């Protein structure tokens, strides 16, 4: 990919200490954009400050919600750099470094490590449909190259087509540097088997807002959340309650947030989310092709969810 070779030029700063086990609400942060499609870095900085004020426990940047498929490599790197710079160590930054090229994933991870990210999110390679052995070798190679930047695996077969099998995850838990997984299938039975079988120091995070509370109550460590983009305080409180085993409080908040969990996915993420954020004045609603603005028929559902959760009052 053009520009990948430039990544190494930015790698200069060593991380000071290993990442302690992360728990709680990890926002899958949007990448704000101007109407012309360029990245709106001032808006990104404002969002980061707002999330920290609202209690978000970690910033997950340049993932699917951050439109990683359409930002170029230089932008991808700059979003990570700006996010780390703006966070100023107040909360950890989990940098999306995934690619369907192992070499590119390693180079992105080296960059993220160099600018001070606290961990890396590595998605199952998409489109080229690697076998289970191919997935294992992909993540093992990344860990061998950049395992001192802790790796969170990301399994989302609804987007990647390739699905990381339970036994493959268990093999990868034995690879130094791989510390957790974002389990985004929404299958709670599957999540329970993972939580049951992985080592105690290996974290299982939800990547599915509707079922995240259940995963945490079963022993998961947190939620990498789309909903947290517009309801960060509530998502933080939900995670606190669920992780403490306070079922009553966790479900009270879950019931409040359910309209968002459902209607932020009436069209592919982050289309409804960007519309909602623009409606709330958090950032512009611009997206990059092939994503297009929210369809007129879908707007009432998203607006209704914002009103049902009290985010819009007028």
Which residues are known to be catalytic? 154, 182
* Owner of token pair 């520009």: 3
CA angle, residues 185, 55, 300, in degrees to nearest 5 = 60
CA distance 305 to 72: 33
Contact 66, 27 (CB under 8 A): no
- Judge if the upstream peptide bond of residue 270 is cis by omega within 30 degrees of 0: yes
| CB contact set of 228 (below 8 Å; sequence gap of 6+) | 25, 26, 27, 28, 51, 56, 235, 236
Structure tokens at 304: 């209704």
Contact between 70 and 93 (Cβ < 8 Å)? no
- Preceding amide of 31 cis, omega within 30: no
| Phi, psi angle pair for 252, to nearest 5° | -60, -45
Rounded to the nearest 10 degrees, what angle do helices 232-243 and 247-263 cross at?
140
Please give the Cα distance from 31 to 161 (Å, whole number).
24
Query: What's the farthest any 2 CA atoms get from each other in the chain?
Result: 54
């Amino acid at each position: 990919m053009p520009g990948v070779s430039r990544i190494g030029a930015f790698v200069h700063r060593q991380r000071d200490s290993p990442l302690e086990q992360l728990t709680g609400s990890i926002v899958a942060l949007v990448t704000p954009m101007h109407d012309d499609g360029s990245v709106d870095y001032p808006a990104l900085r404002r969002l980061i400050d707002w999330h920290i004020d609202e209690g978000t426990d970690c910033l997950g940047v340049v993932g699917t919600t951050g439109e990683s498929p359409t930002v170029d490599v230089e932008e991808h790197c700059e979003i990570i750099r700006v996010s780390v710079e703006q966070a100023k160590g107040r909360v950890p930054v989990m940098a999306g470094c995934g690619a369907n090229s192992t070499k590119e994933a390693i180079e992105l991870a080296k960059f993220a490590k160099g600018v001070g990210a606290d961990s890396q999110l590595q998605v199952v390679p998409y489109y080229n449909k690697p076998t289970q052995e191919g997935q294992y070798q992909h993540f093992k190679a990344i860990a061998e190259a950049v395992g001192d930047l802790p790796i969170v695996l990301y399994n989302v077969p609804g987007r990647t087509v390739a699905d990381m099998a339970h036994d493959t995850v268990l093999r990868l838990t034995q690879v130094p540097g791989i510390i957790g997984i974002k389990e985004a299938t929404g299958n709670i039975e599957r999540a329970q088997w993972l939580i049951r079988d992985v080592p105690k120091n290996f974290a299982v995070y939800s990547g599915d807002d509707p079922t995240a509370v259940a995963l945490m109550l079963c022993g998961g460590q947190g939620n990498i959340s789309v909903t947290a983009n517009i309801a960060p305080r509530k998502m933080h409180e939900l995670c606190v309650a669920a992780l403490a085993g306070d079922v009553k409080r966790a479900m009270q908040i879950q019931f409040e947030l359910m309209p968002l969990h459902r209607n932020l996915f009436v069209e592919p993420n982050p289309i409804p989310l960007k519309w909602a954020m623009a409606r709330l004045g958090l950032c512009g609603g611009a997206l990059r092709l092939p994503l297009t603005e929210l369809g007129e028929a879908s707007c009432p559902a998203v607006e209704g969810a914002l009103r049902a959760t009290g985010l819009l009052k007028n």
